[in-house]
Structure 1
Amino acid sequence: MKKSINVLFIILCILIGLYPFIYFFIDRKFGLLSSKNSELLANDLWNIAFYSHIILGGIALLIGWVQFNKHIRSNRLYLHKLLGKAYIISALISGITGIYIALFATGGIIASLGFIILGVIWMYTTSKAYLNAIQGKIYKHQILMYYSYSVCFAAVTLRIWLPILSALLGDFIIAYRIVAWLCWIPNLVVAHYLINVIKLDKTTSTVIKN
């Protein structure tokens, strides 16, 4: 059962991590862009922020799950550090651009606040995790990375919840306002469970020096 959940988790991370590249091959009026007006779609700053957010967020999702592999952390430390730095850069840029585009979120202030808080939490937990790593506080680093990746995984849970709620409520806008919060709050609860119930092993924490 646990193995099946892990496999499903990895598949979802890869599929949704690659999902943003679809925007380069089909009409722009696709997915969430279909709810945006023409004026916003023509705004250069918004477009730079949007594509930076989805591409780098996708990269963070694609490589982030690998970092939880104990074998790589223990035996391929160089790879762990390299992927970790790529994740951190991707997450921070995607986070700040995500906060910007959240100002124009479909659904108004309720949706905007949900996504802005998501971006702030992602940037905070990621930057704090990196600082703990270079300071040798590996247990704290691991805890924060659980939280960081849990909100990164919001890209997946958003795409699971949105069609379900849209169908149940019959109203995309209401569903989107709810999903702006639902896509990340339960993820943090799951991360808290993994940290405090399953518990991380302090004795196996690998020392990582910059």
Structure 2
Amino acid sequence: MLIGLYPIIYFLVDRKFGLLNSKSVELLTNTFWNIGFYTHIIFGGIALLTGWTQFSPKMRNRRMALHRKLGKVYVIAVLLSALAGIYIGFFATGGLISSTGFICLGIIWFYTTLKAYLYIKRGEVEKHQKIMVYSYAACFAAVTLRIWLPILTMLYGNFSKAYLVVAWLSWIPNLLVAYLLTRKKAVNG
């Protein structure tokens, strides 16, 4: 939940904070990049804050109307944040390696969320539930990035080198965990 609220910090402190410290003045003054950045962090935060609630069987079974409303909020937030993330991924610190990592993440996040929405619209509940695990695993990259980045920065002694690795490490293990969780459910189910 704290990472979901993290974007608020960008409205309270100087713009030369955290990741923005590695961006050029030219990029920080670019209107399209700013729209993409703020769309990504605001709606990504909303997705993090609403997404985890969707995995509670108690809430889903007892309050289906709330589950559906929060699900719609999550889907809209993800689709907007993922598209914005894909766009800003082209400007990622570290160049091609980081850009490719974050753009792939954005595409996977968008695809899995859209696919989950389409499955539930067709009444394919099990497929919907399975792919939503992947969607939230991609969403959770925001959390794992913030865990790995300081560790890698200390290990490498260099933010830019750490960022090249975290562009991939923030989400690939999450998808592997999602695979193991959905596989375990399929085997036990």
| Correspondence for 2:38 | 51
Whole-angstrom CA distance in 2 between matches of 1:148 and 1:79: 19
Q: 1:101 aligns with which of 78, 82, 88?
A: 88
Whole-angstrom CA distance in 1 between matches of 2:52 and 2:110: 17
How far the C-alpha of 1:78 sits from its partner, in A, is 0.3
| Correspondence for 1:9 | none
Q: 1:80 aligns with which of 56, 62, 67?
A: 67
How far the C-alpha of 1:112 sits from its partner, in A, is 0.1
How far the C-alpha of 1:193 sits from its partner, in A, is 1.0
| Unaligned residue ranges in structure 1 (runs of 5+) | 1-13, 203-210
SS in 2 for 1:149: helix
| Correspondence for 2:99 | 112
Whole-angstrom CA distance in 2 between matches of 1:106 and 1:24: 21
| Correspondence for 1:10 | none
Q: Determine if the alignment matches structure 1 residue 196 to structure 2 residue 169.
A: no
- Runs of 4 or more above 2 Å deviation: 198-202
Q: Deviations over 1:119-150 (max 9, x none)?
A: 00000000000000010000000000000000
User: What letter is aligned with 1:130?
Assistant: Y
Residue identity over aligned pairs, in percent, reads: 61
- TM-score normalised by L of structure 1: 0.88
Q: How many residues align?
A: 189
How far the C-alpha of 1:75 sits from its partner, in A, is 1.1
Whole-angstrom CA distance in 2 between matches of 1:17 and 1:197: 28
Q: RMSD over aligned Cα, in angstroms?
A: 1.1
How far the C-alpha of 1:200 sits from its partner, in A, is 8.3
| Unaligned residue ranges in structure 2 (runs of 5+) | none
- TM-score normalised by L of structure 2: 0.98
